[in-house]
Amino acid sequence: MRVIAGTWILLLLSLPAVGLTAPSSAEARARETQAEFIERWAQMTAGTAQRILERSETAPPTPLGLEVMPAQPRFPLFAPVTLLVRLSNGGAQPVEGNYQLDESSGRLFVYVAGPDGDFVPYMSRAFIYAQVSDMEVPRTALPPGASITQQVSLVYNHVTKSRAFPTSGTYRVKAVFAYRTDYSLVSSETVELQIANPAGADANASSLLAGDEEARVLQGESTDPKAIANLRRVTEQWPDTDYALCAAAALLALPPETSGFASLAADRPLGPHHRALLERAISAASDKSRGVAMRIAAARRLGVQFGHKDAIPVLATILGDHAADKGLRLQAVVALSQIPDKGAVPPLLDAALEDPDDDVRELAASQLRSMGVMPRRDMWTQQEATWVPTNRWRLLSDARRRGY
């Protein structure tokens, strides 16, 4: 079934009460700049989001559960805030729905409240565009006991025209997911997270990331040359900081000719802070006593933020564990594909050729093709002596289009 991603929500909620006036003609719409378009739809969709929040409080009971978890208890001011959103079926029967949790589906509504404020909808550019995009929304069944985990990164909010977390302090976040076109909702509990003022070298680095345009680069929404240059300065002048990891990940998500940023070597020496963070992420990803969502967050960080060869063994072990959570194994596929070292290829080949799960095989084969490797052992053997994956920006783009 083909559904207009955001239109069905707007029609159901009957938005004239929002108080916006659309351009009176096609010609007027054509004159809109991108910024004006985003602003108009941000404010209109904010009205939708507010009504969804209100209706979620009286929504009928559902066997589905929605949980929001900060990827870490404290985040540095001006750094992206990563949330783990987990949808699960706690009932005894399958539940049919449209289970696209990523922001490009326009179905997952996230809300942020400051230390003393009310909840405000969070809208990225990708979420806003989803409201007007014609897209396929397949309806599937979530089996009993099954779950889906997605990560959402919050930086710049087009509703408030500022950062989602503009100052240090304690914030509250929650989410509501519209899992059917008949307006069925499931909401999460409210959780708290801390935004901390940086100190030492981090304080110096943070000053270069404080601007709104820098926030949009971190969010993948801008290619402003000055902001990109500031991100590069952070990686060069304060390389062993949390901000350098965030800046490098954003730069690597851009084409090299746009970012002017060279790929990070997979065997590069790490400073003491980054080495400690890497070891902590390796431990978290491998620790089966931890929640699956936190293991997924750690696996993603090993690939997207570090891309270091020391992470290959733990990611290969996760991928080779056929009994592990599928979402975790899929994240291991994506993470391995971000590591520019030929040692990342064999476990991906094993998954693409022999994994018993169709989704894992398909994703592994797709990432290998994006890396420039045909999912065939004989082709890999021909290239093994010299080939090293380097086009991380393309791999990140491909993975994000698939919701990872």
Query: Residue 41 maps to which CATH number?
Result: 2.60.40.3880
**67: Cβ contacts below 8 Å, ≥ 6 apart:** 85, 86, 88, 188, 189, 293
The predicted structure's pLDDT at residue 293? 86
pLDDT at residue 31 greater than cutoff 70: no
- Among the candidates 146, 180, 196, a domain finishes at 196
Structure tokens at 60: 């009928």
> Do 164 and 222 fall within a single domain?
no
The pLDDT confidence band at residue 401, using thresholds 50, 70 and 90, is low
> Do 252 and 307 fall within a single domain?
no
> Do 294 and 246 fall within a single domain?
no
Bridge partner list, 151:
84
Share in percent of the chain as helix, strand, coil (round to 5): 45, 20, 35
pLDDT cut 90: percent of the chain above it: 59
> Do 85 and 106 fall within a single domain?
yes
**Tens digits of residue pLDDT in 231-267:** 999 999 999 999 999 999 999 988 888 999 887 899 9
**Domain assignment of residue 380, given as a range:** 272-401
pLDDT at residue 226 greater than cutoff 50: yes
The pLDDT confidence band at residue 318, using thresholds 50, 70 and 90, is very high
- Compute the average pLDDT of residues 92-117: 87
Pairing of strands 191-196, 74-76: parallel
> Do 37 and 74 fall within a single domain?
yes
> Mean of the per-residue pLDDT values for the chain?
86
pLDDT cut 70: percent of the chain above it: 86
Beta carbons of 38 and 125 less than 8 angstroms apart: yes
In a domain, 356, yes or no: yes
pLDDT at residue 185 greater than cutoff 90: yes
Reported residue count of the chain is 404
The predicted structure's pLDDT at residue 100? 83
pTM given for the model: 0.85
Beta carbons of 108 and 137 less than 8 angstroms apart: no
Does residue 221 or residue 30 have the better pLDDT?
A: 221
- Compute the average pLDDT of residues 351-373: 91
Does residue 161 or residue 29 have the better pLDDT?
A: 161
> How many domains, in total, are found in the chain?
3
DSSP per-residue codes, 27-92: HHHHT--HHHHHHHHHHHHHHHHHHHHHHHTTPPP-SEEEEEEESSSEEETTS-EEEEEEEEE-SS
Residue 203 identity (one-letter amino acid): A
- Judged by average pLDDT, the poorest of 21-25, 154-158, 166-170, 191-195 is 21-25
- Compute the average pLDDT of residues 273-298: 94
